Every structure is written in structure tokens, then in C-alpha cells.
Amino acid sequence: MLPQTELELQSPTAQAFLRRNFPRSEVRQVPMSGELPSGYCYTNVRRMIDINGGRAQCGWTLSILPGRFVEALHHVVWEQPNGELLDVTAAAYPGMVKPATDFIVDSAIDLGPHDPCVPSIFHQIDRSDGTKEYIDLTKRRMILRGKQNALVLRGKWPSDAHERIGQELAQVDYRRDIYLARMNAGDFTRVVG
């Protein structure tokens, strides 16, 4: 897991990223309970709704890998029955320590019974080919998961198409894992081969 942190919203990098990708959107500070596991926001919010009522609010949470890239990660928070938003999922990265989530509401996507598999939005800061490929692999990974889910929903699983996508996904995950290990060691050069 990369040492990403909260994006300093007043920084020039953040302001440019927000103007480019979310020009008419407000960044809200959503309190965090962080009581449920990171990486499972969709499942966590469905669980809260099943137990306590309320509804899901999809959107984006913001982070930065300093000097490398800005990321808007698709996310969902729980809208409690009283209308207040609460982020019940632990922070996406250990370096994110604020008691609130920087959250941009996006009502274009609803949380249904299946995870929406929305790729992150990135802005690369450095000029490293390794960073660029890591970003491309991260987006490709989510696109492939979405294609797998679509086949399952259409009743086309198991199938040759599902198997081919699974094989490509395994290759993407393998290469991305190499980048994660290298980047955590401070090496942002492109992986050869």
C-alpha cells in the first residue's frame, strides 16, 4: 500500500485537479467512524443500511502521493436516517489520519446490489514512466473487474470471455504488485519486461 495522504485542498495542485475534474462540485467534510474495514466501502454501507436504515451516497475521496500523483477514488458513505453523512469505512491509506473524509458527492452513480467498479481519476505530477504505468494498471484493473461483474450479471459466467478477462486481470495485478513493492521502496522507474 502506497503512503498516500490527504490532499491539501488549498494547494495549487489540488485546486487545478478540482477545477479540471470536479468544476461545479463542493468538497464536503464527512465525519469518519472508520469502524468497518478499508477497501470494502460498498459492502460496509450496504451493511449499515441493512441494520440501521438510511441510504448510500456515492462520490469521490481525495488523496495524494506527494510528488507523484493525485487520486480521486470512487467511494460511498452512509447517509443516516437523519440525513447526515457518515464515512463508516476505515481510511483507504494509513497516512490518511484526519477525522473527516474529503468527499465529493456524485449522484450519477447509485449503489446497487453489485459494486460499481469505477476507475479512479488521476493526475500525474511527476514525469516518471513508472508512475504513468502504475496509474494505467490501476485504472485497467478496475475496468476489468467491471467487465467480469457485467458477465456475471448477464449470466455469462463461467465462460471463455470471463476466463480471458480473469487471465488479463491476473497479469495486471501481478505487474501492479511489482510497482507497489518498488514504489514503496522509493523506485518509480518503469518495470522492464
Calculate the alpha carbon distances from 121 to 22, 52, 86, 164 in Å.
Answer: 10, 32, 23, 26
Domain co-membership, 92 together with 157: no
pLDDT at 155 over 90: no
User: What local confidence, expressed as pLDDT, does residue 73 receive?
Assistant: 97
Residue that terminates a domain, selected from 123, 143, 167: 123
Domain co-membership, 138 together with 114: no
Domain co-membership, 92 together with 110: yes
Instruction: Give every CB contact of residue 56 below 8 A, 6+ residues apart in sequence.
Output: 42, 45, 46, 49, 76, 77, 78, 79, 110, 111
Domain co-membership, 145 together with 70: no
pLDDT at 158 over 90: no
User: What local confidence, expressed as pLDDT, does residue 43 receive?
Assistant: 96
Question: Where residue 60 falls among pLDDT bands split at 50, 70, 90?
Answer: very high
Residue that terminates a domain, selected from 96, 123, 150: 123
Domain co-membership, 71 together with 27: yes
User: What local confidence, expressed as pLDDT, does residue 52 receive?
Assistant: 97
User: What local confidence, expressed as pLDDT, does residue 154 receive?
Assistant: 84
In this structure, of 92-106, 123-137, 152-166, 172-186, the range with the lowest mean pLDDT score is 152-166
**Domains in the chain, number:** 2
In the DSSP assignment, the letter for residue 142 is H
For residue 181, what is its C-alpha cell? Answer: 513493492
Domain range for 177 is 127-184
